[in-house]
């Protein structure tokens, strides 16, 4: 089956522009589903926009049907616990509207790994994936789950992997661990690639990265770019960060800042062995080329002041 018309839900987050741009480049017809149509129309002029009501499956189904013949839905809604009902509603509406393929908002770590699965901020993501798989096993739809590890440029923008404001670089567990890092644009390419090659990725967990790297490797490249500048580092123990977040959880504080210890543990802890490093990828089938070290260096150069 050839996919032609794609609905993208939740376009106003970090991944929205990259996913929509790459879908359009690949020749797909795109309809955007959003709770904020005016903001979305400004961001994506010329793209069809439909207003979403995730509190009512029947209305959401009618909205999807009104878009015409839709072949796939891509969900970019965030994965916080209060958004889980909206994601479940979108899955049910996709099925009720007779749309055959679904890409859930699963970007990040592999939720089949036990340690990842039981971290409180990630539990809603795991519950959502279970629901998608259950519906696929019932024959209601097919899915492709895409894990891209760490969002490379998103982290660089926020001084997470390196630090470009003169402060010491925070090395998580010594910075030795390999991480699968993917740019926003390459993540968008992976989504488009999955839809272009749907028959090869039906009901499959796919893994992709722009580059397998480590903080220490990135610091080495940064020092090559700034040989006359002293670059300081400080070690961060992700176990200690985890303890802080566990205490915050006991106090009932579920804010992103309070929960960041869990995220850092799964992203960088234990040298990446159980977190965000993929020994094997689906880059080829998803149409994402793995970067050379020189290309990674050129990306870092863009951040050097």
CATH number of 82's domain: 3.40.50.720
Model pLDDT, residue 133: 97
Enclosing domain of residue 30 = 5-149+181-209+278-288
pLDDT digits (tens, 9 = 90+) for 218-235: 999 999 999 999 999 999
3-state secondary structure string across the chain: CCCCEEEEECCCCCCHHHHHHHHHHCCCEEEEEECCHHHHHHHCCCCEEEECCCCCHHHHHHHHHHCCCCCEEEECCCCCHHHHHHHHHHHHHHHHCCCCEEECCCCCCCCCCHHHHCCHHHHHHHHHHHHHHHHHHCCCCEEEEEECCEEHHHHHHCCCCCCCCCCCEEEEHHHCCCEEEECHHHHHHHHHHHHHCHHHCCCEEEECCCEEECHHHHHHHHHHHCCCCCCCEEEECHHHHHHHHHHHHHCCCCCCCCCHHHHHHHHHHHHHCCCCCCCCCCHHHHCCCCCCHHHHHHHHHCCCC
Model pLDDT, residue 272: 46
Domain count, the chain: 1
Its pTM stands at 0.94
Model pLDDT, residue 259: 84
Within a domain: 32: yes
Within a domain: 268: no
Q: Which residues, given as ranges, of the chain have pLDDT below 50?
A: 271-272
Within a domain: 62: yes
Model pLDDT, residue 255: 83
Within a domain: 266: no
Within a domain: 123: yes
Within a domain: 160: no
Within a domain: 271: no
Within a domain: 100: yes
Model pLDDT, residue 271: 47
């Amino acid at each position: 089956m050839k996919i032609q018309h794609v609905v993208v839900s939740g376009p106003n987050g970090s991944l929205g522009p990259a996913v929509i741009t790459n879908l359009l480049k690949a020749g797909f017809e795109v309809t955007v589903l959003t709770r904020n149509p005016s903001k979305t129309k400004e961001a994506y002029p010329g793209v069809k926009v439909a207003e979403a009501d995730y509190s009512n499956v029947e209305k959401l189904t009618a909205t999807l049907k009104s878009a015409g013949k839709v072949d796939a839905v891509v969900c970019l809604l965030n994965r916080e616990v209060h958004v889980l009902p909206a994601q479940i509603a979108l899955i049910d509406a996709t099925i009720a509207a007779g749309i055959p393929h679904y890409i859930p908002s699963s970007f990040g770590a592999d939720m089949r790994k036990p340690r990842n699965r039981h971290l409180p901020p990630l539990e809603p993501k795991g519950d959502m994936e279970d629901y998608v798989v259950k519906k696929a096993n019932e024959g209601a739809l097919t899915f492709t789950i895409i894990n891209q590890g760490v969002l490379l440029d998103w982290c660089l923008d926020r001084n997470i992997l390196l630090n470009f404001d003169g402060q010491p670089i925070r090395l998580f567990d010594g910075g030795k661990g390999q991480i699968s890092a993917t740019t926003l644009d390459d993540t968008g390419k992976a989504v488009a690639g999955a839809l272009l090659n749907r028959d090869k990725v039906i009901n499959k967990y796919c893994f992709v990265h722009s580059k397998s790297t480590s903080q220490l490797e990135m610091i080495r490249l940064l020092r090559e770019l700034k040989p006359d500048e002293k670059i300081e580092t400080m070690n961060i123990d992700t176990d200690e960060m985890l303890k802080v977040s566990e205490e915050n959880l006991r106090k009932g504080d579920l804010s992103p800042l309070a929960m960041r210890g869990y995220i850092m543990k799964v992203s960088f802890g234990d040298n990446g062995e159980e977190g965000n490093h993929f020994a094997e990828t689906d880059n080829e089938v998803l149409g994402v080329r793995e970067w050379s070290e020189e290309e990674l260096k050129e990306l870092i150069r863009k951040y050097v002041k």
